Structure 1
Amino acid sequence: MTIATHIPLPQPLASLRRRAPGTVAGVDWALLSDSEARRLREFGLDEGVEVELLHAGRFGSGPVAARIGRMTVTFRRHIARAIHVQPV
């Protein structure tokens, strides 16, 4: 007999439930400009980093605020879609 466990699939940061912790599963660097990618790397955003969605604009538009470690960072929506998060 096997026991099935539910492991949530990675999802874009913008889709993460508010105040729910997650771990960065990957970043789709090809969706970002060089300066956007450099900024994320400067923040230390890479696989395995803990994040938490704090605020997302209504109706799928507007900026997204997230906690990365002890920093609060605001992203444009397309950047938040490029960051894939594994909910904890």
Structure 2
Amino acid sequence: MRTLNDLRRGERAVIARIAGVGGDEITVRRLHEMGFDDGVEVEMLHRGPVGGDPLALRVGSMVVGLRKALAGMIEIEAAAAFAEAAE
């Protein structure tokens, strides 16, 4: 499955789930507090200049900076595919 790290600039997707955190409930809670919830649309705005870290993402109506390590834990689906499944 694709993760937030796979998005290109300007591409949008929908969060499918947070995976690969190895039982780290604090990290999962922090991501949810920042708006990374299942079904929320995200858009890649910008990648940092050194190795593409950090990422600037639009999450719902907020802009959030996120390290690539955390972005790799957030699985996504194409925004169109999510909309079709909801119908």
Matched, 1:25 2:16: yes
How many residues were matched structurally? 79
Which deviates further from its counterpart, 74-83 or 59-68? 59-68
- The two structures, once aligned, show a CA RMSD in angstroms of 2.1
- Unpaired segments ≥5 residues, structure 1: 1-9
Partner of 1:39: 30
Residue equivalent to 2:66: 75
In 2, the alpha carbon distance for the partners of 1:19 and 1:32 equals 32
The Cα shift of 1:61 comes to 4.2
What amino acid sits opposite 1:62 in the alignment? D
Bigger-Rg structure (1/2)? 1
**2:56 pairs with 51, 61, 65, which one?**
65
* Cα displacement (A) at 1:34: 3.8
Partners of 1:26 and 1:85 within 8 A in 2: yes
Aligned residue among 22, 27, 47 for 1:56? 47
The DSSP-based 3-state class of the residue aligned with 1:19 is coil
Residues of 1 paired with 2:69 and 2:17: CA distance?
A: 15
Equivalent residue in structure 1 for 2:78, among 53, 69, 87: 87
Q: What percent of counterpart residues are identical?
A: 37
Cα shift readout 1:46-85 (whole Å, capped 9, x = no counterpart): 2111101111235744211100011000011100000111
- Alignment check: 8 A CA contact 1:24 1:50 kept: yes
SS of the residue aligned with 2:26? helix
